[in-house]
Structure formats: C-alpha cells, structure tokens
Amino acid sequence: MTTRRTCAFLLAVGGVLLAFDAFLWFRGQYRLAFPILAFLLTLPALIVFEWRRTGARELAAIAVMTGISVVGRVLFAPLPGFKPVSAVVILTGLSFGPLAGFMTGAATALLSNFFFGQGPWTAFQMLAWGAVGFLAGLFSRSRIRKNPFLLCLLGVIGGVLFSALTDLWTTVAATGTLLPAAYLTFLISGFPFTLLYAVSNVLFLVLLTRPILRKTDRLKRKYGLFS
Amino acid sequence: MTYADRLHPLTVFLWYLAILVLTMTATSPAALLPLFVSAVLLRGVQIGAKRLLAGVPLALLLLLSVTAINLFLVHRGAKILFFLNGKPVTLEAGLAGVSSGVMILSVILFCSCLARSLPGDRLLSLFARRLPRLALLLRMTLGFIPRLRLRYREITDARGALGLADERGVIRKIRARLSDLSILTTLMLEESMDQADGMRARGYGLPGATRAVTEPKTFRDGLLAGALVLLLVPALYPLFSGRGEWNWYPLDTAALLPDLPLALCYAAGTAIAVLPIFLEGKETLKWHILRSRI
Amino acid sequence: MAYLTLSDLTFAYQGAASPALAGCSLSVGEGEFLLVVGRSGCGKTTLLRCLKPALAPHGVTAGDVALGGTSIGDLSPRDAATLIGFVGQDPERQTVCDTVFAEIAFGLEAVGVEGTLIPGRVAEAADFLGIAHLASRKICELSGGEKQLVNLASALALRPRLLLLDEPVTRLDPPAKLRFLSAVRRVNEEAGVTVILAGHDTEELFPVVDRVVYMDAGRIVSALPPRAFVKEAAGEALSFLPTVPRVFRLANGTGEPPLSVREGRLWLTGTLGGKAVTEPDGTDDATAKDDALKTQELLSARDVWFRYGRNEPDVVANLSCTLSPGEILSVVGPNGAGKTTLLKLLAGILCPFAGTVRYEGKRGLPKPGRDGIAYLPQNPALLFARDTVREELREMTGGTPDGDERIERMSARLYLDGILDAHPYDISGGEQTRLALAKLLLLSPRVLLLDEPTAGLDPIAKKQLRDLLRELAKSGCGVVLATHDLTFAAVISDRVATFFRATLASSSDVRRFFSGNRFYTTQAVRLTRDLLPVSLTADEAVAVLKERAGGAT
C-alpha cells in the first residue's frame, strides 16, 4: 500500500464520515455525532502524518515522548488531577513542532486507554491532547518558547481544554444533547480538577522546559531531527 | 482461545462497530433494552457471572448519577414531580436519565467486550494496513513502555545512591524526581536514535512497503460479513428513515410498543448483538464438555 | 575474486580536525569471516557504518567502497537494505517493535516482500537461529542474548550477503556470547554469508575467523590470518591477542602459534618436554590470607532475603557476605541472576525483606551516597544529568570552595581532562565509565559497588580501570564488583563468589576459586592446568615459563 493510496483511503473515510455525521446532526443523534466529529478533527493530522512519510528518527523520537506520557499517566493514575501528560505533550510540541506534538497527544490517549478502557471518549481525549501539542508546536521555532508566561498560558490551556472536551462528551452522553446548563454544571463541578491539571501543568513546565529543551535542541542538532 | 480469535480482526472490528453505532443511536426503550440485555449477557459469557456481578455497584452508581443529572438539569416534560429552586423536576427527565444511563452502560460493556475479543495487538495489525505509520508509532511506543519503566527505576536507584535525591524537603524531592525524568527523556531519546538506525538499516521508508499477512480471511469471515450486511440493512432503517424516532418530551406511552415492521428492524439489530453471545457461549460450553471428557 | 573492496576510504566527521578513517584499503573475498580489532575510537564503528549506506555517518567521504563490483553509493536503496545486514552493540536499543514476530517481519515489510510470504521468511530466519519458539513472545520479556539473536534474525530474514556486526556480544554473558557467536559462525559457514565483526572478543573468535584486521587511529594497520597476526603483532597490538597466543608470543614461543586452548596445551607440552609439573594447587597460604582479611569488617550482609513483589520469586535468598577495607570482591554469575539486586541491597538502595546489612558495624540501612557507599550502575549514562563533563563533576562538589581544584585533580587522575567540555553522551563508552567513576569518587567513598564495569571496554581501558581500582583498594576502599568477565575478575579480585540460585554459592580466595574450577575459569588456567603451576592470567603464565627457561639454562 503506497502512501498515496493510504491517504486517498483516509480522505475517502473522512468524506463518508463527514456526510454521516452531518446526517446524524440533522437527526439530532448527538451522542454519536460528537465522537465522530472529534475523530474527524483528528483525521487531518493523521493524514498529514502518513503523507509526510515521517522519517525513522522522527518516529522514534515521537514514540519515546509518547511512551513517557503514557507511563506518566499510568503511574500517576492513583492521584486524581495530577497527570504529566499535557506537560510532556507540550514539551514535545515545543521541541519538535506541531505535528509531533499532535501525534504524541493523540497516540498517548489512544495507547493509555488500552490500560484505562477504550470508548467514545478516546476520540475526545485524542483531540484534546493532540490540540494542546499542536498549539505548543506552533511556538517551536519561536524565540519566546522558553518564556514563562507562554508556558503558564500553555499549561492552563492544556488543563482547560482537556476538561472542556471531556466534559463535552460527558454532557452529551448523559443528556443526549448539548444542554448549556448541563455543560456549565459539569465544567463548574469539575473546576477543582481543572485547576489542579492547570497548576500541575504549569509547575511541570516551568521546572522542566529549560533542561528538556536544551537536551532536545542538542539532539536535533546532532541527528538532524525534524529539519 | 475464543471464537473471535479465529476470525479476521476486520470482521470482529466491523461487527462491534455496527453494534456500537446501533447502541448509540438507539433512543427508544424498545430498541435499547434488548441491546443492553445482550451486552450484559455477552460480557457475562466472556468473564463469568462472578466478575460481572462485581461491577454492579459501580454500574448502579453511574446509572443513579446520570439519572440525577437529567432530573435536576433538564426541566422539560409534562409530568411534574416537584419544584426545586422554582424549576420543575419532571418524570420524563428522570426516565430519559435512566435510559441514558442504560445506553452508556451498554456502550461501556460492548467496548470492554471488543477489547477482549480484539486485544491491542490484533487491533494494531488491523490499523497497520490503513494507517501504517500510526500503527508503527504505536508499536514502537508499546516496545518502549517496559523499557521506560525499567530505565526510570534504574535512574532513581542510581541517582539516589549518589545522594543527590536528598529525602529532606518536598521541593527538593520534587526537583530530584523531575531531574530523573529529564535524564530519562534524554537517555531514551538518545537510545531511540539507535532504534531509528536499526529501522533504516532494514529499509524503513522505501516505497512499496507491504504488511505481513498473518491472519488470512476465511470462509467464516465472508459468511459473517454477509450476515452483518443483511442484518444491518433493516437494523439501520429506523435511523435513516426517522421512523420510530423517540422523544421523551412529552412521553408517549402508546409508542412504547413498536409496530410490527419497526419491531422487525429492532430484532435485526438485536440479532447482531446476540450472535456473538451464541458463538462465544458455544465455545465456552465446548471447552467445558471437552474438559469433562478428559 | 574480491566481493567487497575498499579503496582508499577516507572519512571525516563534520567539523572534526582529523579524519576518523584515513586511506583504508581492504579487499574481502566472498564468504570470508573478518574480525576487526583496535582501541575504542580507532574507527572500527565508523568503518562498519561506512559500508552500509543507510547508516553512513554525516561527514566528508573520499575513496570508494564496492560490493560485488558496484559502488555501494550506486546500489538501489532496496538492494542496500537487503544485501548488507547490520547488528549493533546494544541488544536493547535495536529492536523496533513490541513482539518478536513483528520485529523480524519489520524489514521484510519495509522492503516490500509480498505479505503472504513474510511469515515463511520469518520462520526460516528464526528457525535457523533456533529461536522459532520465541516468535510470539514480547521482546521485553527476552534476555539480552535472546534479543541479540532476534536482531540477528531480523537482519538474516532479508537474506544479506554481507553481515556487519559492531561489537555484538560485549553486553552478553559468556553462555549467551558463545551462542551468538556460534550462530554467526553457522551463518558464515552454512549460508556462505560474508561476515565482518568488530569487537574485543578475541578469545572466542581467533580460532574461527579467516583474517584479523587491526586498526589504529583510523588506519588499517594489518589484515592478516590470525596466526600471521600473532606472529607479526608488536607494541599495542599485543594487548589485543587472546590469552593463548599471548602467552606464546610473550614467552617467545617458536613454530606455528597456537590459537585455542587445545593447541596451546599441545604447544606447552612440547615446549616443556615432559617436564610437566602436577603439583597440587597451593592453597595453604591462600587460606591464611583469607583469615587475615576477615579480621576487619567494613560492610556485611547476614541472612538477607529479597524479592520485588509479594508473589514474586526470591531474587536473593539467605545470602551472607562480608567485605573488609581494601578488599576487592568479585561476584560472578550469569546475567539476570540477581547480581545487580545484590549490589543495590548492599548500597542501601533496596531494603532487604529479611536479614540485615551492616555498614561499619552499624545495623540498619546505610544512607546512600554521602555516607561513603557509592554504586556504579551498569549503564553509566544513568548518572548524567548535565550538559558537559565539567558540569557533571560540579554537580558532585556542589558549591564547596575547593570544588574546582578537586575536579581538576579527579579529572587528571581519570584521564578526563581532555574532554571536560564535551557532552557526556558524546564521549566513548570507556570515557563514560570513567566519568561516572569520577562522580562517585568525588564522594570519597569507602565502599565502591560496581556493576559490570568492563562491559564494552577495550583491553587498554580495562588495564586503566584495573590500576585505578587497585590504587583505591590500597587506600582502604572496599570494592565489590559484579561481572561476567572472568579474566578481569581474576586479575583484580582478592576474593571471588559465584551468584547462583539467588545466593552466593561459594566464596573463596581468587586463586583457589579459579584453580579449583574446571570450566568456570580463565583461559590461562585452562592452558596451564597440570602442566605448570596454575596461572590465572597470561602474564603470570609467561612469568612462570620465563623463570623455567631461566632455570634450565
């Protein structure tokens, strides 16, 4: 199967799903429509990832970062709200760019749910962490990527986006529709956790960014990674 | 060895996908209830009654909380039970909540059935055809995970023995852990470059890569795929035509019992969910009989 | 007819002052088995990598490499991937996938072998190497030796005609090493694959290979059949000779040089002319020494039990041992037996489940690090957190006023002064070991626990390590080292203990240990047993022979 055919196939799947999703939306079948939408939003990144023929070294580097965040998520599972995933994903984005950040986030969600249980929520987690990594990756070539304010901002966004998207699924699953009052209630009741996510992300990032970026920069220079 | 192990992963995957789509779009109790019962039975056949019962408290908790959410947050419906903060709490909302809870439980049950019938390894081999690089990424990560755990332990041990992970003070402790994490990242990234060399040495990135065929499709797969298509046509009919679309607000008790064509459609959907129970159940029974003969 | 021809191959890394390879010319016949020896950093790895286009390092290349008449630059990428197989040093680091089958199939998929044929090809390669039973296992469950065989199978599945092996067995214990090398030999003999192996494992390979290529500072000094190499070797090349030919050369033997123990004994019998001595192994004085050492106790373990989880097997069971100041104790035994766990227990990193570890007579867990117990892990890189060697050393001295001075002294003592500004990951394996040791020594430890410190070191680096450890022991430091390098254990230790079935099976004076064992012993003992007074090392045997020769004249 060549890369071109792979991508054509994925585009076709995307098209069919898009049509189906629109139809579900029209029918008011939000419970299925939302997860499919979330999956559709991750699809472009997956297609680009296949299309670019990501090299062996880049693939290996992304795999290591994914492994670290999966292990982090599993190890810290007993502590609610304290998950290094967003931080590792943001660091990957800052080091290796938007696509690597997205893939690390998405792959972490997909893989760690082999331990925690797969379900429609996987699509939302993939999207949430992927988007955080993507966002961080936009700054990978910028001079302000070690700026503490940027790190705080990314950390908070990482925490909020994850809560917002997972609560979106919870709301839709529980009420069958996206009821603003219900969504708000979930967001508010989950606020302490969101805060904890955000704070732990910021803490991780502020302490880890400098040493890790120094090391990944060296690696990029030495092996010509992501160049 | 279960029945699903002898099928092509694609067959198993599509079959469960169909069940999940049907479950998540089933709105009327008449469509949902049989699916829920099949989910419970299928899981029971897979893991046994004892472990199934162990999950009941958690399931009840979920059911209750989903019902409560609907009761107190959805204020539509005609049969008002009481008022809370000036807002009506309705019977319909409660019933919709129960139905939502049952739906979520069915989805969770079917998902765990899928995970058992199609463990990560086989699911990956399925991905490998269509998303080769993502599948490879996942495979590599799975290969890394045990090594990461081992390395992390080695690092904390070795650094601890240097006396650098001083146990006094929370901040120091956190700093020591984070520095261990940073060492882990550097070390594994450096090691992974060797991995990449190993991949390139064996021709990674050449055009025209293939996939090993380890599980050829058999006659049984064809048979089941045919059956799936035949059953899906009527089973999806309500969704596409909009017939029998269910609405809790207001509650129409007369519509609880579907008419005959609709009932047949629901039966087709239920049949898709029931077939795995028989196939897996038969297997379990066979093993029991075989064992009793030994 | 040469199959592989290197003509005047020169290579320099980007920005390097001197070339890593300088004018290397060599022609290799089809089906030849070549061993490449030389100090680490002499260009062995660079040479091997330059022969495989996908692994060619970045830099400036001149000269040409031709395979079967075509320049390797002109080979199609697919041919380059299949014709030339490569297996590297660290078995852990090369596997890509999570299961053995997927791993071996990886290359076949990448080069586009038809999907239905792949399982057969995987089976063929795995079966040839005797690892077919591992096919559905997870890679992480395998031992190092098994992993390396999987790596070999992955290369073989592509049906290469040239196999490049870069120090493939330095991380394996002796049985796994022999298994791997005999597999390589079969690949060479039965499948006719040309093999080029770089490494320090001359003991096992000299009797087998067709030619020995000796490299120094990026040049190919000689490429001779082993016996000719033994005859010609001079200067530094002598340290790369295995025990038997080394004794032959240093004792000025005449005739055809022996390569194996069997040949060595025949030669020795001939030289001695029936004057073989069968005196009993002198053990009396050894016992006396044993007792003298036992008087003082620095570190001791008494009836220690340990397991990693409640329902897991005992890794250490009912183990007792003691270490005196200035004593060097070697713990030998296969990989994965629990040697590392024992060291961690002694270091106070792990807590025994039952029994006690006493340090300087004090009961309870010794506090790691600052209290004078230092532990060197098998992979020294685990200790590196900073960006330069100097920073690494500074991490240990903290902000103490005399810190920089101490760093200076330590780096001079451990030959690190030339690389103080290099990144710890960019220096060689031997240098990494020395850097890690320097970090530990900055703690001024009284007990040093070393886990496989000789893995991957060339003979000269081993000599440096030996001198350093002896010096430390003389200053009163107790050393425990876990190793499967018997020759090193024989030169360095005062006492040797075997780790077997979760405990130390026997612990005795080094001389008694090695002379008492028939198989689990050094080449020198095997060579001299019943012919000469038992000698543990080549140098000892040479001394005995010279003394005899002197006495005869």
Residue with token string 């917002």: A164
Say which DSSP state C435 is in: H
Dist. CA B146–CA B150, nearest whole Å: 6
Q: Which tens digit of pLDDT belongs to each residue from A14-58?
A: 999 999 999 999 988 899 999 999 999 999 999 999 988 788 999
In whole angstroms, how far apart are CA C182 and each of C148, C240, C241, C379, C382?
Answer: 13, 21, 20, 27, 32
Inform me whether the pLDDT recorded for C364 exceeds 80.
no
SS3 C206: coil
Order of strands across the sheet that contains C33-37: C84-87, C162-166, C194-198, C33-37, C211-216, C219-224
Say which DSSP state C329 is in: E
E runs forming strands in C88-238: 162-166, 194-198, 211-216, 219-224
Structure tokens at C43: 């260009």
Query: Which of residues C212, C241, C270 is at a domain's end?
Result: C241
* Cβ–Cβ gap B100/A175 under 8 Å: yes
In whole angstroms, how far apart are CA B156 and each of A6, B150, B179, B254, C342?
Answer: 43, 10, 10, 67, 17
Dist. CA B31–CA B36, nearest whole Å: 9
User: Chain C contacts of B199, Cβ < 8 Å?
Assistant: 96, 106, 110
Interstrand relation of C503-509 and C478-483 (parallel, antiparallel or unpaired): unpaired
Amino acid C509: pLDDT: 87
Interchain contact A180–B (C-beta under 8 A)? no
Write the burial class of residue B96 (CB in 10 Å: 0-12 exposed, 13-18 middle, 19+ buried).
buried
CATH number at residue C326: 3.40.50.300
**C384 and C347 fall within a common domain:** no
Q: What chain B residue is nearest to A35 in terms of C-alpha separation? A: B24
| Mutation target among C55, C92, C98, C425 for the A interface, most CBs of A within 10 A | C425
* Cβ–Cβ gap B202/C349 under 8 Å: no
User: Chain B contacts of C349, Cβ < 8 Å?
Assistant: 157, 160-161
Amino acid C288: pLDDT: 46
**Residue closest to C300 by CA, chosen among C375, C353, C342, C360:** C360
Q: Which residues have CB under 8 Å from A107's CB, separation 6+?
A: A62, A66, B134, B137, B138, B141
Q: What chain A residue is nearest to C109 in terms of C-alpha separation? A: A1
Q: Which tens digit of pLDDT belongs to each residue from C193-249?
A: 999 999 888 888 999 999 999 999 889 999 999 999 999 888 888 889 999 999 999
* Cβ–Cβ gap B130/A6 under 8 Å: yes
Q: Which tens digit of pLDDT belongs to each residue from B30-89?
A: 999 999 999 999 999 888 889 999 999 999 999 999 999 888 888 887 788 888 888 888
Secondary structure of chain A as H, E, C letters:
CCHHHHHHHHHHHHHHHHHHHHHHHHHCCHHHHHHHHHHHHHHHHHHHHHHCCCCHHHHHHHHHHHHHHHHHHHHCCCCCCCCCHHHHHHHHHHHHCHHHHHHHHHHHHHHHHHHHCCCCHHHHHHHHHHHHHHHHHCCCCCHHHHCHHHHHHHHHHHHHHHHHHHHHHHHHHHHCCCCHHHHHHHHHHCHHHHHHHHHHHHHHHHHHHHHHHHHHHHHHHHHCCCC
Residue spans of the domains in chain A: they are 55-223
Residue C308 binned pLDDT confidence (cut-offs 50, 70, 90): confident
Is the CB of residue A127 less than 8 Å from the CB of residue A133? no
In this structure, what are the phi and psi dihedrals at residue B122, rounded to the nearest 5 degrees?
-75, -35
Q: Which residues have CB under 8 Å from C167's CB, separation 6+?
A: C44, C45, C88, C89, C198, C199, C200, C456
Distance from CA of C241 to the nearest CA of A (A): 36
Inform me whether the pLDDT recorded for C366 exceeds 70.
no
**C56 and C76 fall within a common domain:** yes
User: Chain C contacts of A224, Cβ < 8 Å?
Assistant: 58
Residue ranges, chain B, pLDDT below 50: none
Residue C278 binned pLDDT confidence (cut-offs 50, 70, 90): low
**C224 and C361 fall within a common domain:** no
Q: What chain B residue is nearest to A103 in terms of C-alpha separation? A: B134
**C321 and C374 fall within a common domain:** no
Is the CB of residue A50 less than 8 Å from the CB of residue A10? yes
Bridge partner list, C302: C356
* Cβ–Cβ gap B139/C105 under 8 Å: no
Nearest to B139 among C102, C370, C439 (CB): C102
Structure tokens at C532: 């000469």
Chains with ≥3 CB–CB distances under 8 Å to B: A, C
Proportion of chain A above pLDDT 90, given as a percent: 54
Name the more confident of B290 and A206. A206
Element (H, E) at C464: helix C459-474
Q: Is residue C402 part of a domain?
A: yes
User: Chain B contacts of A46, Cβ < 8 Å?
Assistant: 131, 134
Is the CB of residue C479 less than 8 Å from the CB of residue C472? yes
Q: Which tens digit of pLDDT belongs to each residue from A178-198?
A: 888 889 988 998 888 888 888
User: What CATH architecture does domain A55-223 belong to?
Assistant: Orthogonal Bundle (1.10)
Distance from CA of C386 to the nearest CA of A (A): 9
User: Chain B contacts of A32, Cβ < 8 Å?
Assistant: 21, 24-25
Dist. CA A191–CA C278, nearest whole Å: 85
Inform me whether the pLDDT recorded for C434 exceeds 70.
yes
Q: Is residue C256 part of a domain?
A: no
Is the CB of residue A32 less than 8 Å from the CB of residue A25? no
CA C430 to chain centre: 11
Q: Above 0.90 for ipTM, yes or no?
A: yes
* Cβ–Cβ gap A218/C58 under 8 Å: no
Count Cβ atoms below 10 Å from residue B53 Cβ, excluding itself. 10
Interstrand relation of B80-84 and B87-90 (parallel, antiparallel or unpaired): antiparallel
* Cβ–Cβ gap A120/B193 under 8 Å: no
Write the burial class of residue C548 (CB in 10 Å: 0-12 exposed, 13-18 middle, 19+ buried).
middle
Dist. CA B133–CA B129, nearest whole Å: 10
Is the CB of residue B230 less than 8 Å from the CB of residue C138? no
Nearest to C423 among A211, A218, A224 (CB): A218
User: Chain A contacts of C423, Cβ < 8 Å?
Assistant: 218
Amino acid C286: pLDDT: 46
Nearest to A68 among B69, B101, B148 (CB): B148
Residue with token string 């031709």: C66
Proportion of chain C above pLDDT 70, given as a percent: 93
Residue spans of the domains in chain B: they are 3-125+216-293, 131-201
Interchain contact A59–B (C-beta under 8 A)? yes
Dist. CA B20–CA B38, nearest whole Å: 12
Q: Is residue C179 part of a domain?
A: yes
**C335 and C383 fall within a common domain:** no
Amino acid A69: pLDDT: 93
Query: Which of residues C444, C467, C488 is at a domain's end?
Result: C444
Structure tokens at C132: 């077919």
Write the burial class of residue B48 (CB in 10 Å: 0-12 exposed, 13-18 middle, 19+ buried).
exposed
Dist. CA C367–CA C373, nearest whole Å: 8
Sequence letter at residue C158: L
**C389 and C460 fall within a common domain:** no
* Cβ–Cβ gap A107/B130 under 8 Å: no
User: Mean pLDDT, to the nearest integer, of C434-459?
Assistant: 88
The mean-pLDDT minimum among B160-174, C110-124, C183-197, C424-438 falls in B160-174
* Cβ–Cβ gap A175/B132 under 8 Å: no
User: Mean pLDDT, to the nearest integer, of C3-23?
Assistant: 88
Dist. CA B269–CA B232, nearest whole Å: 7
Sign, Cα dihedral of A156, A159, A162, A166: negative
Dist. CA C349–CA C340, nearest whole Å: 11
**C229 and C122 fall within a common domain:** yes
Distance from CA of C346 to the nearest CA of B (A): 11
Distance from CA of C411 to the nearest CA of B (A): 18
Range among B89-98, B172-181, C143-152, C420-429 rated most confident? C143-152
Q: Is residue C258 part of a domain?
A: no
Residue C287 binned pLDDT confidence (cut-offs 50, 70, 90): very low
Inform me whether the pLDDT recorded for A79 exceeds 80.
no
Total domains in the fold of chain C: 3
Amino acid A14: pLDDT: 96
Nearest to C96 among B179, B183, B199 (CB): B199
Residue with token string 């049969």: B79
In this structure, what are the phi and psi dihedrals at residue C303, rounded to the nearest 5 degrees?
45, 50
Amino acid C302: pLDDT: 87
Domain coverage including residue C331: 282-368+448-529
Q: What chain C residue is nearest to A63 in terms of C-alpha separation? A: C96
User: Chain C contacts of B190, Cβ < 8 Å?
Assistant: 381, 425
User: Chain A contacts of C93, Cβ < 8 Å?
Assistant: none
In whole angstroms, how far apart are CA C400 and each of A205, A213, C524?
Answer: 30, 29, 48
| Mutation target among A218, A219, A220 for the C interface, most CBs of C within 10 A | A218
Is the CB of residue B132 less than 8 Å from the CB of residue C105? no
Distance from CA of C82 to the nearest CA of B (A): 7
